[in-house]
A and B are shown apart, each in its own frame.
Chain A
Amino acid sequence: MSLKELSSLEKALGLKNTNKYSTQGDRKVPVLQSINGPALVGLVTIATHLVQEAKRPELLGGSAEHKAVVQQWLEYRVTKVDGCHKEDIKTILKDLNSYLEDKVYLAGNQFTLADTLMYYGIHHVIVDLAVQEKEKYMNMTRWFDHVQHYPGVRHHLPPVVVLRNRVYTSGHH
C-alpha cells in the first residue's frame, strides 16, 4: 500500500531514479536504503526525504507556522487515518470537513505534501462513499476532487466521481 504510494509520490515529484524499498514488521512500515547514509524508515520520513531530493522544499511549508501545520497533518495521516476502524472513519471525515470549510488546501492556501499524502491515505474511503455522503462532507469532497485533479498527483488511484451540483438540498430521506 504505502510502497505504491511512495512510487506515485516519486513520479509526482518528477524524480527519475526509482529507489528500492522494502518493508519491516507486521505493519509493513516502508524502508528506504539510501546510497549515501543510513536507512530511512517510515512513510512521512521517506516522503520528506523525497521532497528534499526533488528540491521542492516549499511542499513542506514556507514559514515556520506553515511548516508546523504541514507536519501536523502528516502526523494525523499516519496516526489517525492509517489503520483506522470503520466506525472512526465518520469522525475523521467530519473533522476534515469542518476544518476544510474555509481552506483550499490542508495547510491553508498552498499545496503541500500533506495534501498528497492525505489524498492517498483517504482514497479507499472516498471511493466507497454514496453520493449522499459525499454531499454531506461537502468541503472534504471539494478538497478531494481538487487534489485528485492536481497535476501529477493521482497516478495509481482510480478517479472518484464527484457531482458539482447538490442533489440532496432539502435533506429529504
Chain B
Amino acid sequence: MTKDAVQGAAEEADQAQSKKGLKKQQKEAEKAAKKAEKQAKLAADTQSTDEDDFAKDRYGVPQMVQSQQKLDRVLVRVQKLTPEKADQLIWVRARIHTSRAKGKQCFLVLRQQQFNVQALVAVGERASKQMVKFAANINKESIVDVEAMVRKVEQKIESCTQQDVELHIERIFVISQAEPRLPLQLEDCVRPDGEGDEDGRATVNQDTRLDNRVIDLRTTTSQAIFRLQSGVCQLFRDTLTNKGFVEIQTPKIISAASEGGANVFTVSYFKTSAYLAQSPQLYKQMCICADFDKVFCVGPVFRAEDSNTHRHLTEFVGLDIELAFNYHYHEVIESITDTMVQIFKGLREKFQTEIQTVGKQYSSEPFRFLEPTLRLEYTEGVAMLREAGVDMGDEEDLSTPNEKLLGRLVKEKYDTDFYVLDKYPLAVRPFYTMPDPNDKKYSNSYDMFMRGEEILSGAQRIHDAQLLTERAIHHNIDLEKIKSYIDSFRYGAPPHGGGGIGLERVCMLYLGLHNVRQVSMFPRDPKRLTP
C-alpha cells in the first residue's frame, strides 16, 4: 500500500465517521426540537390555564402548614355529614380514598378514619376544567382540605358510610401529598377471606400488611379493631375502679423470673443481668401485703417463648388483677368474671359499629356469655373430653387442641363462649399456687376461656412464707433471688388471689379473629422486631 492510499483510506474513514456524526447530530437536533416543542406546549398550557382559569384560587398545593396562621375555620368530621347538614357550606379535612374522573366531573371518595363520603368536582360556575383535572390527579391517600356544599342524594351511596349525602366541592387544597405508588392497596387489605379468589383479585398476606403497618392500620377493619381494643382497656379500668381497685405501676426490669426461668428475656444491666417481667405477679402481691387490698395493672408483659403460633407474641399488654379475699378464693373468681362480663356487655352496647365493621371482613358469631359465669372443675372438663373420645391423664395439662375441643363441647352444652375452668392439677401450675386443701393433687387455681382459648390464668396465692418456701424449693427456685418476695409475707399477709389477662387475646377472641397479630398494633414475635 502507498502512502496516498493510506491517506485516502483515512479520509474515507473520516468521511464515514462524519457521516455517522451528521446523522447523529441530526437526530439530536430533532429530539431537541421536539423537546422544545413540548416545553412550549406545556408552557402554553400552563399559561393558558393561568390565563383562562377563573378558579385558580380555588385549588392547589398551599404552603406547608408550619403554623403560620390560626384560621378561624371549622373542620367538620366526615362522620357528622348527615342529611341534617344538607345545603350547608362546610370544610372537611380527609384523605383521598379513591378518585375517578369522568369527562367534566371527578368523583372522589373522602375518607376519615373508618368513615367515608362521596365528593364531586364538576366543571361549572365554581370549578374550572383545570380544577377538575387537578382534583383527578391528586394521589391516593393524600390529605386534602375541602370546602363543599352538602347535598342530599336520591339514591343511597352503597359504597360509603355516609350514604345519604354527597359533597359538591367548591375548593380543594392538598395539605399533604402522598407518593403516587402505595406499597399496598387499602381495598385489597379489607377484602373478606376467599372473596378475592373468585374474582381473581389480589389479597394481601399478613406479613406484607404488617411490614406496611401504617397503611394497613388505616383500613376500616384495623380502625375498628383498635378502637374496640381501647374500649376493652377503658371498660376494664372503669369497672375495677368502681369496685374500689387501685391502679398500680410495676417495674418491668426485674431480678428474678416469676414463672419458670426458661421463657424470660435476659437484659444486661450494668455489671450484672436482669430479666424483662413475664408478669407483674410478684409486685402486685407485694402491694396486697402492703395493704392496697385490691389492685390492678395495665402494662407490657414479655415472654421469650420461641413459638410461632396464631396466638403467641413476645410482648403483649397484660391486664393484671390481684385482690385480698375473706374466706374463699371463689370471691376472687366472681370478682374477675364479673369484670369480664361488664367488659363484654360494655362492648356489646358501645361498640356495635366497630363489631359490625370487623364482621364485614371477618365474619363470626356474636360472642355469647352467661350470667353468672359458668364454672367447671378440671375433673369435669377431663370427663367431658374423655366422653368425646379423648385419651388423657388426670393430672395432664390441657393441650391446645383439647382446650379448643373442650370449648366447643362447653358451647354445645351450655351455649356460652366464656367459662372458668377451676381446680387445675397442682403439678402444672407455678410455685406460688395454693394447693387444694382436700386433694393434694389439685390446686386453687383456674383458667378462663373465650371461644375455647385461654385468656386468663389465675389462682389463690400462697400467703404463708413457710409454705411458699417449701413450694419454691420443690420447683428448684433459687431462694436467694426471690428473698424480698418471700419476706414480704413474713409480716402479716392477707389471703389473696388474682389473675392476668392478655389484652390482645381478649380482643381477638371477642371478635372471633384468627391471629393475635391482627389485634396488636405493632406485633412482636420471634421473627418480627419491626416496624
Contact = CB atoms under 8 A, between A and B. Distances in A.
B51 interface: no
Nearest to A168: B408
Interface residues of B, number: 16
A35 interface: no
B48 to A, nearest CB: 62
A172 B364 contact: yes
A167 B412 contact: yes
12 contacts: A130-B405, A132-B405, A132-B408, A162-B389, A163-B388, A165-B412, A166-B412, A167-B388, A167-B408, A167-B411, A172-B365, A172-B451
Interface string B447-480: 0000110000000000000000000000000000
Nearest to B387: A161
A131 B406 CA distance: 11
Interface in B401-423: 401, 404-405, 408-409, 411-412
Contacts of A165: 412
A160 B389 contact: yes
A132 B388 CA distance: 11
Interface of B: 364-365, 387-389, 401, 404-405, 408-409, 411-412, 451-452, 512, 514
B364 A131 contact: no
B409 A130 contact: no
Given A167-B409, A173-B404, A131 B365 contact: no
B405 A131 contact: yes
Interface string A150-173: 000000000011110111101011
A161 B389 CA distance: 5
A173 B401 contact: no
A134 to B, nearest CB: 9
Contacts of B365: 170, 172
B255 to A, nearest CB: 40
B391 to A, nearest CB: 10
B452 A131 contact: no
User: Which residue among B388, B404, B452, B512 has the maximum number of chain A CB atoms within 10 Å of its CB?
Assistant: B388
Which residue of B389, B404, B451, B514 has the most chain A CB atoms within 10 A of its CB atom?
B389
B387 A173 contact: no
B388 A172 contact: no
Contacts of B388: 131, 161, 163, 167
Contacts of B401: 130
A16 B269 CA distance: 81
Nearest to A173: B404
A132 B404 CA distance: 10
B95 to A, nearest CB: 34
Contacts of A167: 388, 405, 408-409, 411-412
A172 B451 CA distance: 9
Given A131-B388, A167-B409, 18 more contacts: A131-B389, A131-B408, A132-B405, A132-B408, A161-B387, A161-B388, A162-B389, A163-B388, A163-B389, A165-B412, A167-B405, A167-B408, A167-B411, A168-B408, A172-B365, A172-B451, A172-B512, A173-B451
B511 to A, nearest CB: 12
